[in-house]
Structure 1
């Protein structure tokens, strides 16, 4: 008997999956495009275990091959005692059958080893019914402007407050209207709007992984044409009250400035621009 690729395939597949996990977690932030940051250590541990199991399977198979007897005693159809050599086909027939669907595990493993699929973007953000819940909160007053403004001017004109989309959405529903007249800075990715001159600034947040992603979004006014879908931008603007809009509608903002930014290291963490 010889050790065949078919015989080693299950162990190699397990090791391949483990190697893919290690590739996206050790010395890389690629895993943040699929799961939240706190899962790095469990993923590394899982990758080490899977690689170890795969190597152990290969070693066990090779050891079993060396211990296999060269000849076996048996009887022919007439009942005569004979010695015969074990065949590879007979051994493989008894031990190597398994569900072929398991080979589908190789597809994501090879993809992760060879390239990094992008995080979720505008397609997911444009789906209805995927909004994140922003819990009611008591918000402190925003920072006061420096006492250098000339009398008769807008003391808030030069004050820009960076904040997360979660905070902006929460403050937009604050009865104290703490956003009124205040200029804020937000970061997110772009998805198309319905009307000309409108588009959405989005963040996706996850509880565990991309499969449970929920949307945070703000309706943007004031730029036409809109930036390209899925591009990341910083915007500066002022909250646009919409008293007649449904309670579940996205809050609105009138933009006075914007510029493109790179995708954040952790795209599923909703942070203020200063904390990215």
Structure 2
């Protein structure tokens, strides 16, 4: 048989499909699930034209359902995946397709109870290491989308979505150029009366930074602190809140260390000004 179905004693169950042709086309698919409501069917049909595969995955009695289709034609590394969802709070699919390693595919599907939902699509064509990331959220105080494109370098990607009860919410993107294609995205949000967007772009020139801060309501002031150390692409931002009736002083100190500045906001109930 062309297929092997293996089941472990843990909560995970997966099916492995491996087929070797005279033309090196090694395909591996792993499907994993965390809870019992999943059930799936895998159908693969190999025609005289090698490497033609169709996968359908469906789930019933669940807040969401999705379908995945993978088709390998005569032109290697031609892939299409469709993911659909009905009412799940969080669902995403990860696809990793390696082109130079002929037809090696891995698909992972996971779900949590977080209010975030996002989809990550990674497609590696004949041009190596081309991928696109889209993050979207509905029914929340803010929406955002981030795209990262790495070319000419291997693909190492990490995405983390987190939520906290802090009165601040921000999106932080860190891209480390020295370590090839290693970046981290952290997103935190609450019901704070002000919001801001933080954009960090590291070009070929090191330490190129752009930050935009915005707030809804006027009664709040904020402090922005950005620190560029000797280690490239390292920054920190702190936001603080003060009462509206008071004025504030702003201090900017440019030291010998390049790209180091500090902004401080202070308040007082005295009618006298201060420096």
Query: Normalising TM by the smaller chain, what interval?
Result: under 0.3
Length-normalised TM-score, structure 1: 0.21
Structure ranking higher on relative contact order (CA contacts 8 Å, 6+ apart):
1
Larger radius of gyration: 1
Structure in which a larger fraction of residues adopt helix: 1
TM-score, length basis structure 2: 0.21
